[in-house]
Structure 1
């Protein structure tokens, strides 16, 4: 039964699906938005906060810490007065761009469709 749930043998071998592993690395729902913002280039915390205004300050802090801990985001501190902190993507974080683009394609196809047109698409 375990193998039926996954297209690969990873689930059968480890008890975890690849999707679960990805979600553990990314952490929270805001990770996708933070990664998308940082794909535009390095940003300071306040700039990120303005650009991703839907994220509360503590959630943004937690998300950045999680992404940094998992090697997707780099936190660089500059010895200025006051101290300047800049966030950017690591190679691992930048590599996630392909997955974000695929998600964007999916939402363009399925995200805004009313239920009636989705049913018509599925039945055709």
Structure 2
């Protein structure tokens, strides 16, 4: 009789690892948060995010577009004008990220207190 391998979290939720890979990046979360407030041009996104290189912002936006979370609209003007906005799918993910932001607002003082207690011990 063959022994059955134990089921891991990732086995029981086959898309979880891919979803975590998709959103477990600070630039992704920052871009989605900013776009949750409306359509933005590239320069606006870069200014609002702050400490992000042009290369990283471009890569982040391309990944978000590839995954169907962000829509990129190019206007045929000179110089070129490009706007980014959340797709309906991106808006559904943003609801989840809003819960994370709400949790951080409500609980981060407790996290900092726990860090302080731990650092005093260690």
TM-score, scaled to structure 1: 0.76
Identify the residue that residue 36 of structure 1 maps to in structure 2.
33
Residues 37/2 of structure 1: CA separation in 2 closer, same or farther (3 Å cut):
farther
Q: Aligned partners of 1:117, 1:56: CA distance in 2, in Å?
A: 31
Q: CA deviation at 1:109?
A: 3.0
Alignment of 1:21-100 (within 5 A): 21-26=18-23, 28-100=25-97
Instruction: Report Cα offsets for 1:1-58 as digits up to 9, x if no partner.
Output: 753x53xxxx3357x462x221233363210110010011111100111111122221
User: Which structure has the larger Rg over C-alpha atoms?
Assistant: 2
Superposition CA RMSD, Å: 2.5
Larger mean Cα displacement after TM superposition, 32-41 or 49-58? 49-58
Q: Count residues with an aligned counterpart.
A: 112
Does residue 101 of the first structure (1) align with residue 98 of the second (2)? yes
Unaligned runs of 5+ in 2: 118-122
TM-score, scaled to structure 2: 0.77
Query: 1:27·1:63 contact (CA, 8 Å) conserved in 2?
Result: no
Following superposition, which runs of at least 4 residues in structure 1 exceed 4 angstroms of deviation? 116-119
